[in-house]
């Protein structure tokens, strides 16, 4: 099978080598597509690779019937509709580390250019003006830099600012005193930062909480003559409020690499002499572009061929060590879910998944997602996957509970799934037998030993002599071979269960014929 990958923004040719070198991947590069053109084209592709230009909207994702993965060669994913991607089962991966250094260096370049008015002086000189009066700057040494957002880039900028003998004060919801001490920075609230700083640089993602984080009220609290830098995302700073604050003289200057609307060629902020700007160049170095393209290309290859990704954005990442431990349970967890779908009539209201034995020592969320996938896929179709399984369950109002409990005797690990509808509660449990693989060991109250594979027939019947023989003979008459048989009963002459593994899926006519036997209470044919 060949996977088709579309690259719709300019990426480093060296960086996409992992895609070019993969045997089963065809790479198409088509940059500058309009939204309509991309919507029309996307249906052919298994993967889409973008930077920040391509807006991957819900409309586009909804037309992407084959799309499995969107790779963002960079950090910010605000150009991708993550909810839509999750809903449609499309994993989004980014390259969080590859451009940190370049973005931090660009921020420092902007900080120094802003302080010394280098772009303004250069422009004047280009226009033939030798003007040494207008372009008097300020020193950085001894000034305070406020860093809002001390993640990868914020922390790198802070370290470099200290090299310029600046004091640094930072705010980040995850910045602890210990980490601040280690980084050699002061820390406080956003307000503390904006009140204390001579220069303020923002390094948060653009999310609901950070939209217009630096607004009119914030500018009012700042020092007179403060200077602002935004090399993160347009929209973190309210551009109208910034314009007014510059016009009023509150803000002495601003250095902007990013804008609320890009491209921003015709922006009133660009008319102000106090504003210097670059066209979103923070990550535009040979090194960063190669790094991010390599990282994201590797993830696309990995996901398309092995179903694992290192940097997922809309799915928690599973460390390799954990993956190695839980991978053998994947087959079992999905099959337990699928098995149960055949047993339950009506609408699932609650799913209880309990893990025992060695499973209690592991992070089992990936197995829970996989079990839910097994429970939903038969009815909702193949688009159900690990990315959207939990979302789809939640959307249907299904309550999912995960718990860990002590192991029943005889099993080193046990995974039990119980499903409740308004009418019934059914359960099933399975284990991974050392060297023998997955086994179903319990169906409701009955102990069994069953390989969760192939065509099965589950028969609830009354425990009377001859039933097993009758079923066996009827199937033999119809040319259906029984490969394995499990029987269990509550008590002698009471309710009993028979599970057959057969070589051929039972047709409706076979089921009807078996149902003629009065001892049979319920018969379910299933395909695992």
Catalytic residues: 233, 262, 280
| Residue (74 or 488) nearer to ligand NAD, CB | 74
**Chain-centre distance for alpha carbon 307:** 13
Residue recorded with tokens 């006519």: 509
395's CB contacts (< 8 A; 6+ apart) are none
How far apart, in Å, are the Cα atoms of 203 and each of 131, 370, 391?
Answer: 34, 36, 30
Q: Among residues 15, 18, 71, 76, which is the contact residue for ligand 3PG, using CB under 6 A?
A: 76
**Is 283 one of the binding residues for ligand 3PG (CB under 6 A)?**
yes
Q: Among residues 203, 369, 420, 439, which is the contact residue for ligand NAD, using CB under 6 A?
A: 203
Closest-CA residue to 44 (of 67, 61, 22): 67
**Is 168 one of the binding residues for ligand 3PG (CB under 6 A)?**
no
Mark the segment that binds ligand 3PG (CB under 6 A) among 73-81, 472-480, 506-514, 515-523.
73-81
Q: Among residues 71, 89, 282, 374, which is the contact residue for ligand 3PG, using CB under 6 A?
A: 282
For residue 253, give both structure tokens.
């200057």
| Helix orientation angle between 100-116 and 118-126, rounded to the nearest 10 degrees | 70
**Is 52 one of the binding residues for ligand 3PG (CB under 6 A)?**
yes
Strands 495-502 and 437-443: unpaired
How far apart, in Å, are the Cα atoms of 505 and each of 281, 455, 478, 526, 528?
Answer: 60, 5, 12, 8, 10
> How many chain residues touch ligand 3PG (CB under 6 A)?
11
For residue 125, give both structure tokens.
């000189």
**Is 438 one of the binding residues for ligand 3PG (CB under 6 A)?**
no
For residue 415, give both structure tokens.
């995974």
Q: Among residues 51, 335, 373, 420, which is the contact residue for ligand 3PG, using CB under 6 A?
A: 51
Closest separation in Å from C-beta 52 to ligand 3PG: 3
Where in 52-111 is the site for ligand NAD (CB under 6 A)? 75-76, 96, 99-100, 103
Where in 78-117 is the site for ligand 3PG (CB under 6 A)? 99
**Is 231 one of the binding residues for ligand NAD (CB under 6 A)?**
yes
Strands (E), 56-208: 69-72, 91-94, 144-148, 167-171, 186-187, 199-202
Stretch (H or E) spanning 352: strand 350-357
What 3-state DSSP class applies to 36? helix
Residue recorded with tokens 């923070």: 282
Mark the segment that binds ligand NAD (CB under 6 A) among 10-18, 200-208, 377-385, 477-485.
200-208
Mark the segment that binds ligand 3PG (CB under 6 A) among 171-179, 279-287, 352-360, 448-456.
279-287
Contacting positions for ligand NAD (CB under 6 A): 75-76, 96, 99-100, 103, 148-154, 171-174, 203-206, 209-210, 213, 231-233, 257-258, 280, 282-283
């Amino acid at each position: 099978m060949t996977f088709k990958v579309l690259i719709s923004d300019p990426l480093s040719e060296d960086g996409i080598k992992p895609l070019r070198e993969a045997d089963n991947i065809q790479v198409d590069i088509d940059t500058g597509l309009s939204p309509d053109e991309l919507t029309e084209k996307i249906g052919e592709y298994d993967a889409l690779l973008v930077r920040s230009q391509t807006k991957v909207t819900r409309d586009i994702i909804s037309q992407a019937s084959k799309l499995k993965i969107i790779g963002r060669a960079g950090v910010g994913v605000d150009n991708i509709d993550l909810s839509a991607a999750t809903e449609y089962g499309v994993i989004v991966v980014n390259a969080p580390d590859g451009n940190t250094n370049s973005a931090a260096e660009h921020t420092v370049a902007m900080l120094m250019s802003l302080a010394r008015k280098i772009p303004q002086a250069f422009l004047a000189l280009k226009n033939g003006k030798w003007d040494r009066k207008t372009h008097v700057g300020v020193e950085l040494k001894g000034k305070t830099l406020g860093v809002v957002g001390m993640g990868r880039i914020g922390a790198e900028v802070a370290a470099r600012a200290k090299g310029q003998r600046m004091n640094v004060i930072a705010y980040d919801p995850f910045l602890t005193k210990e980490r601040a001490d280690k980084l050699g920075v002061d820390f406080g609230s956003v307000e503390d930062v904006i009140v204390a700083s001579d220069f303020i640089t923002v390094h948060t993602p653009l999310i609901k909480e950070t939209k217009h984080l630096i607004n009119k009220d914030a500018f009012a609290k700042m020092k007179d003559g403060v200077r602002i830098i935004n090399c993160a995302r347009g929209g973190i700073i309210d551009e109208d409020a910034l314009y007014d604050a510059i016009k009023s003289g509150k803000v002495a200057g601003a250095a902007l690499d990013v804008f609320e609307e890009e491209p921003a060629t015709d922006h009133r902020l660009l008319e102000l002499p106090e504003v210097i700007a670059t066209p979103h160049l923070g990550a535009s170095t040979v090194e960063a572009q190669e790094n991010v393209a390599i990282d994201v290309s590797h993830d696309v290859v990995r996901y398309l061929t092995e179903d694992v990704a290192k940097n997922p954005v809309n799915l928690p990442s599973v460390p390799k060590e954990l993956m190695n431990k839980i991978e053998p349970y994947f087959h079992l967890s999905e099959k337990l879910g699928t098995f149960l779908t055949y047993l339950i009539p009506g609408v699932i209201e609650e799913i209880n998944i309990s893990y025992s034995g060695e499973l209690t020592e592991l992070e089992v969320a990936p197995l829970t997602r996989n079990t839910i996938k097994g429970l939903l896929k038969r009815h909702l179709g193949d688009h159900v996957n690990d990315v959207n399984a939990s979302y789809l369950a939640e959307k249907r109002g299904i309550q999912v509970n995960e718990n860990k409990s002590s192991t029943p005797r005889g099993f080193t690990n046990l995974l039990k799934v119980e499903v409740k509808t308004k009418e019934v509660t059914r359960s099933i449990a399975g284990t991974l037998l050392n060297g023998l693989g997955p086994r179903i060991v319990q169906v409701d109250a009955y102990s069994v030993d069953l390989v969760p594979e192939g065509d099965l027939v589950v028969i609830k019947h009354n425990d009377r002599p001859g039933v097993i023989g009758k079923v066996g003979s009827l199937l033999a008459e119809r040319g259906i071979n029984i490969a394995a048989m499990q029987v269990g009963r509550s008590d002698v002459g009471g309710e009993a269960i028979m599970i057959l593994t057969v070589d051929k899926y039972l047709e409706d006519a076979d089921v009807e014929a078996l149902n003629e036997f009065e001892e049979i209470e319920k018969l379910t044919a299933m395909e695992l």
